[in-house]
Structure 1
Amino acid sequence: MRRTVAGTGGIPTGRTPRPLAGVLTATAVSLTGTRISAVALPWFVLVTTGSATRTGLVAFCEMTPYVLVKAFTGPLVDRLGPRTVSWTADLVSATAAAAVPLCHALGVLSLPLLLALVAVVGAARGPGDLAKGVMVPEAADRAGVPLERATGLAGVTERLASTLGPAAGGALVAALGPMTGLVVNAACFALGSVVIALSLPRGMGGAAESAATAERTYWRRFGEGLTFLRGEPLLLTVIVMIGITNLLDAGFSSVLMPVWAERSGRGPSAIGLMGSVAGAAAVGGSLIAATAAHRLRRRVVFFTGFLLAGAPKFLVLASGAPMAAVLAVFAVGGFGAGFLNPVLGAVLFERVPRHMLGRVNALGDSLAWAGIPLGGLLAGWAVAAAGLVPMLLAWGSAYFLTTNLAGLRPEWREMDRAGTRPGHARADADEKAPATAARTGG
């Protein structure tokens, strides 16, 4: 018999696909909107200002609040419950995102106002993304689905959003202009809020802490999450490596790729096509991971995935290769990337107690995403100073060295060991995370 999930008030989990379908649907909708915005917003700034530096500045102003707010909202998610945090955060994101095209239509959208609005979107997205991820284990329990498979399905959902979003964004921007893409982004956030608020079963996504636990101060609960994370060398090693690759990926997607598309004359539709090809291939990788993750050697899969998904995409753009070759490289890279988050999910959810998922996941994600705000800013400055091709080569080299040198660390041996570390203390037995799932920003 399955245990009840902490925070559901003792309600049996049951076996219905509705909870997992609801969480994955809300995730898919909000991520699709975000991917559309990732094409529309940089293109809008680039073509209206002609400045790669300002394009990077906009990315910085969105992602800095994302990382900072997400880092400190873990205890809040555990205390209030991920369901409440998720629908509220998405509603705030929808409002701020809708204000961008509205202010532009009224002729009052200055650069400082745009930076302020994207900062609000980023600040709200952080807790919203965190809350949806935290609900995956409970949804898997209620659906009677192993966490390995639930994590794989979550990976498929993210990859589908990464397929549909760029394609839709590129088409919308090319046909109707970037503001249309931002309107669709706002609508997606609003729909995601409605799905979480109204479609999930009653009692799901409640507070993960008991009344006695909740009496502790916010900073004490935050410190417990930090202490736990400091005692996990494997998780810390993963976070550092992912943090560096996320910085490089952010610079690539928010600055290097739009500048390449503009200077090569291929335009925003090429950005959408490249992202969609990579996303479609990643769906295939995620589907394989969802069905076979428990039979694969994690380290081999993990580093092979990074080898395919990392440096080649930078190098192919720097080489001036024809579009067919670019798409082939992005397809191979996307396939490799599809395996990454399911493996990371296995590592996270089997090592972190269920009642601490909010605060530990928030800290881990925020540290892994800490370089993302700087990625766009540094890439914009570097392109302006040294040119596009040298920066593509430098970024690709840094990616290759980071992922390969990190693999030499001894902590990686623990990745292939299922379950928790021997002797590693846990909280109440009823609050253990029985298996797998996690996400990174990459």
Structure 2
Amino acid sequence: MTQRLLIGRCLSALATALIPTTLTLAVLRITDDGGALGIVLASEMVPLLLLLPVGGVLADRIRPELVALLADLVRCLSQAVIAVELLLGVHRLLDLALLSALSGAAISFGSPAVPRMVVAVVPSQDRLRMNTRIGVATSLSAVVAPALAGTITVAAGPGWAVALTAVLFACSALTLGGIRTRAPDRGGQDATSSFGRDVAEGWREIRARPWFLACVLGHGVWHLVAGVFLTLGPVMAVQELGGEASWALIVQSGTAGMVLGVFAAPRLPIRRPLAVVQAGAACYLLPMAALAAGSSLWVMTSAYFVAMFGLGLLSPLWETVVADEVPEHALGRVRSFDHLISFASRPFGLATAAPLAAVTGVTALALIGGALVAAANLAAILLLGKPSKASSGPDPDRKHAPSSQ
């Protein structure tokens, strides 16, 4: 079952990573209007944010493999329809926007189900290793997918790239859908309880763990600041550091750092995993400081490498500790809140970076962003090991510290 879970997550990660590039190239074949492209890309985000709480409740009510199966089948269907339209020469932006919205709705249900599936299938002592493997697959997919989508689009057209995405989602659905888990433990809660009551219960689980809320808010600031950097960084690279190749080098260094961080997470003798998680997020101060200082290409590249290495450490450690500390019957709802903060913060940073920079200047905005990401994440460390009486354990940072492997 663990092998099936890993293969399914790899297929889904690659398919998900293909979508932004294939969709962008498909829209650009229709129009060069940047506003139209923005609308199509945003169409996925709106239902995703609105339906995440519903997805969290559903993930805690029924078997997670069924949710993953349906979510990936819906995404397969949406991509298949887009592929057919493009291959037939039908180019309607409205169709692309509506089908992207359908895909976003599917993500809102599938995302909270994945942590529950890992908990249901993988023994506690093996979860860090599994989360590491999933993290590596996700990181590599982010590198491979744009090149793969671009190559197929140039050689055969965007319709075939979208068709490949649909096939990958179909394979992922069949793989994950074949996993068998036990019926969800409702934690003594009435099986006929209302949606509102389920959401309230999930929020109580979050409030009972101040360390979780503090960490998630810190991660939200990370995503916000990352959106700012990913908007202003390319402009600086093109104008002051040697052109587009310079930004490509910075991005590639970040990818390498993230993959190395994911590999290192289960192998380092970490005694306080949540402290490492928050320190890793705080490392995003470095590229923001480099941006503010107008640093050289190599300084910027090195700073981004370290920041993304911190993200690589963060991902598997966070997934593992939260899965161990949050009761399984509430994990879907708790993680849906986590995903909601993350998914909402990055687009907000991307959207506001340029207007804010026009008012404050790039230097001031970068310094403020760097200070915020460091302060929010390092301050969360103060709450580690101090859960409320309702929390499930005396010290979430020490109780499940991974050993060196």
> Are 1:43 and 1:178, in contact at CA under 8 Å, matched by a contact in 2?
yes
Q: Tell me which of 180, 205, 216 is aligned to 2:193.
A: 216
> Are 1:148 and 1:436, in contact at CA under 8 Å, matched by a contact in 2?
no
**Which residue is 1:63 aligned to?**
45
1:335 has 2:312 as partner? no
Give 1:74 shift. Answer: 1.4
Letter aligned with residue 312 of structure 1: P
Q: Deviations over 1:303-339 (max 9, x none)?
A: 54335456528956996966x8776555444322211
Letter aligned with residue 196 of structure 1: L
1:359 has 2:341 as partner? no
> Are 1:346 and 1:436, in contact at CA under 8 Å, matched by a contact in 2?
no
Give 1:258 shift. Answer: 8.3
Q: Flag the 1:378–1:116 CA change in 2: closer, same or farther, 3 A.
A: farther
Q: Deviations over 1:117-165 (max 9, x none)?
A: 1111111012112212221122222xx7433333333333332333333
Question: Per the alignment, in what secondary structure is the counterpart of residue 295 of structure 1?
Answer: coil
> Are 2:288 and 2:370, in contact at CA under 8 Å, matched by a contact in 1?
no
Distance 1:404 1:368 in 2: 17
Letter aligned with residue 280 of structure 2: G
Q: Tell me which of 76, 94, 111 is aligned to 1:112.
A: 94
Give 1:116 shift. Answer: 1.4
Q: Tell me which of 261, 265, 269 is aligned to 1:285.
A: 261
Distance 1:397 1:138 in 2: 43
Give 1:90 shift. Answer: 0.4
Q: If the length of structure 1 is used for normalisation, what is the TM-score? A: 0.74
**Which residue is 1:29 aligned to?**
11
> Are 1:163 and 1:278, in contact at CA under 8 Å, matched by a contact in 2?
no
What is the 5 A alignment of 1:12-411?
19-45=1-27, 49-141=31-123, 145-173=125-153, 178-198=158-178, 200=179, 203-204=180-181, 206-209=183-186, 213-250=190-227, 266=244, 277-292=253-268, 294-295=270-271, 298-299=274-275, 301-309=276-284, 312=287, 330-378=304-352, 382=355, 396-407=366-377, 409=379, 411=380
Q: Deviations over 1:317-367 (max 9, x none)?
A: 996966x87765554443222111133224422331111111111122213
Moved more, 350-359 or 98-107: 98-107
Distance 1:275 1:408 in 2: 25
Q: Flag the 1:50–1:402 CA change in 2: closer, same or farther, 3 A.
A: farther
Give 1:88 shift. Answer: 0.6
Q: Flag the 1:79–1:213 CA change in 2: closer, same or farther, 3 A.
A: same
Distance 2:387 2:135 in 1: 25
> Are 2:111 and 2:336, in contact at CA under 8 Å, matched by a contact in 1?
no
Letter aligned with residue 140 of structure 2: L
1:413 has 2:395 as partner? no
Distance 2:15 2:234 in 1: 18
Moved more, 235-244 or 211-220: 211-220
Q: Flag the 1:71–1:375 CA change in 2: closer, same or farther, 3 A.
A: farther
Distance 1:260 1:250 in 2: 15
Q: Deviations over 1:229-263 (max 9, x none)?
A: 1232222222222223324445666x668889999
Q: Flag the 1:312–1:47 CA change in 2: closer, same or farther, 3 A.
A: farther
Letter aligned with residue 151 of structure 1: N
Letter aligned with residue 197 of structure 1: G
1:423 has 2:389 as partner? yes
Give 1:51 shift. Answer: 4.2
Task: Identify unmatched segments of 5+ residues in structure 1.
Answer: 1-18, 428-433, 438-442
